[in-house]
Amino acid sequence: MHPNELVINDYVDNALPAAERAEVERHLGECDACRALVADLRAIARAATALEPIEPPARVWPRIADAIRRQEPVAAERDRSYWKWLAAAAVLVLATIVGMRFNPLSKQRAVEQPRQSASTTSGGTTAAAPAGDTAQTVETELRQAEEHYDKAITGLEQIANDNQSAFDPGTAATLHKNLAVIDQAISESRAAVHAQPNSEPAQQSLLENFRTKIAVLEDTVALINEMRKGNEAGAARIVSGLKEKSD
Amino acid sequence: MEAFETVYKQHAPRIYALATRMAGSPDQGEDLLQEIFLQAHRKLASFKGDAALGTWLYRLAVNHCLDFVRSRQARMGKVTDTLDVETAAQPVARRETPIARIDLERALERLPEGCREAFVLHDIEGYDHREVAEMLGIAEGTSKSQVFKARMKLRGLLS
């Protein structure tokens, strides 16, 4: 009588206890069919063990690489935002330098002492001007400073707007409240400068409002960065600061 | 991306072979290979380095192939463990030549679902029956009978 099939299988795998193994071997000595079966099963198991890795078709990697690139728009967008932030920061530095060099008080002195230092420059950007042209010069430079601040603000606003979805509703409301208050102040300062182009307080107020708006936007960008890094404590600190500014 | 391509070139052949044999089709093996490496790329950040990268990738590949097998079984009905195979009593002449690799690969594609996966995991990948049973969600005895069934089918296909 032939051994059970699973017993033959266990025999092939060397998984039988000694007694059963001896019994199977006795049978194999007198049964050609079972001997052939064991030999074939062993050959199959040996061939299976010896199977080697298979080189995949060359077309597979380009597909994977392409799919990875398509999966990474978020990371790419993050990189683009980072570069936009750097560009905006560069504009901001430029605007700040212009803001520091633009000093209405020194222009006022120039009005009072037009000939005292004809060759002196104020911060290297403004040569002393004849008294009759001073008001016009001050207005021109104020306009230039405004343009620089506008560029900085636009860049930062773009970053903040691109990342609106990163904010929870409470933070977004705080941000909007801040910006609305400052925009109103800027609008009023612009009207005051327009009504009194030579009023130093009006000019200073306008520049101060620009600076405040830039500071709020910088806080916003810093908040985005802290949220991306998962730094809850840092984000909470910035939100708290924003709230203080809006109170 | 270059570093990941290097990882791919180094490990893809072993994973492609596993996927193709488990799926029983080079086309599906190709799809699985792509899915496995995309998953690996997504999960690369979670690779802690407590195992070799190759081991981590291989585990991920085995799990992905098992998911594929389970979902295919769910679609096509659970595999039975009946042994509708040629019996040992049938006299079959002993083969005289070694089994060619290519013949075995082709014959593998023709194995029925269920016994092919058990055969691949046990006879090719080297897992024992307890591990195969756990991986495929079957009894250890079922794993043994499925491997036997696969061997017997292959014997018929390769004779």
pLDDT digits (tens, 9 = 90+) for B15-49: 999 999 999 999 999 999 999 999 999 888 777 66
Residue with tokens 């080297």: B126
pLDDT (mean) for A210-239: 70
**pLDDT score, position A106:** 40
CA dist A128 to A94, A133, A138, Å?
Answer: 22, 10, 11
Degrees to nearest 5, angle at CA A47 with A37 and B147? 60
Please indicate whether, in this complex, the C-beta atoms of B8 and A47 are within 8 angstroms of each other.
no
In contact, A88 and A155? CB cutoff 8 Å: yes
In contact, A88 and A156? CB cutoff 8 Å: yes
> In chain B, what percentage of residues exceed pLDDT 70?
84
A69-73, A99-103, B54-58 — most confident range? B54-58
Of A2, A37, A48, the CB nearest to B123: A48
The answer to whether B27 faces chain A, any CB pair under 8 Å, is no
Q: CA dihedral defined by A204, A206, A211, A212, rounded to 10 degrees?
A: 110
**pLDDT score, position A160:** 66
Cβ-based contacts of A39 with chain B (< 8 Å): 94-95
pLDDT (mean) for A31-57: 93
Distance from CA of B29 to the nearest CA of A (A): 9
Distance from CA of B55 to the nearest CA of A (A): 15
- Characterize the bridge pairing of strands A121-122 and A126-127: antiparallel
In contact, A50 and B99? CB cutoff 8 Å: no
Helix axes A104-112, A200-229, angle to 10 degrees: 160
CA-closest candidate to residue B34, choices B64, B1, B74, B79: B64
In contact, A136 and A176? CB cutoff 8 Å: no
Please indicate whether, in this complex, the C-beta atoms of A9 and B151 are within 8 angstroms of each other.
yes
**pLDDT score, position B34:** 95
A42-56, A83-97, A228-242 — most confident range? A42-56
Give me the residues paired with residue A127 across strands.
A121
CA-closest candidate to residue B155, choices A24, A3, A47: A47
Of A44, A61, A71, the CB nearest to B151: A44
In contact, B85 and B149? CB cutoff 8 Å: yes
**pLDDT score, position A232:** 66
In contact, B25 and B105? CB cutoff 8 Å: no
**pLDDT score, position B114:** 87
Report CA Rg, chain B. Answer: 17
Please indicate whether, in this complex, the C-beta atoms of B92 and A40 are within 8 angstroms of each other.
yes
A26-35, A135-144, A163-172, A232-241 — most confident range? A26-35
- Which tokens in the block code for residue A76? 């790419």
Question: Is the predicted pLDDT of residue A27 greater than 50, yes or no?
Answer: yes
Average pLDDT, chain A: 71
The answer to whether A3 faces chain B, any CB pair under 8 Å, is yes
**pTM for the model:** 0.56
> pLDDT: is B73 or B124 the higher one?
B124
The answer to whether A54 faces chain B, any CB pair under 8 Å, is yes
Q: Cα–Cα distance between B120 and B61 in angstroms, integer?
A: 14
From A19-28, A147-156, B37-46, the region with the lowest mean pLDDT: A147-156
Q: E strand or H helix at A122, and its extent?
A: strand A121-122
CA contacts within 13 A on the Cβ side of B143: 19
pLDDT (mean) for A133-153: 69
Give me the residues paired with residue A121 across strands.
A127
Cβ-based contacts of A75 with chain B (< 8 Å): none
**pLDDT score, position A115:** 38
Question: What number of other Cβ atoms are within 10 A of residue B93's Cβ?
Answer: 10
pLDDT (mean) for B100-126: 93
Average pLDDT, chain B: 85
Please indicate whether, in this complex, the C-beta atoms of A61 and B12 are within 8 angstroms of each other.
yes
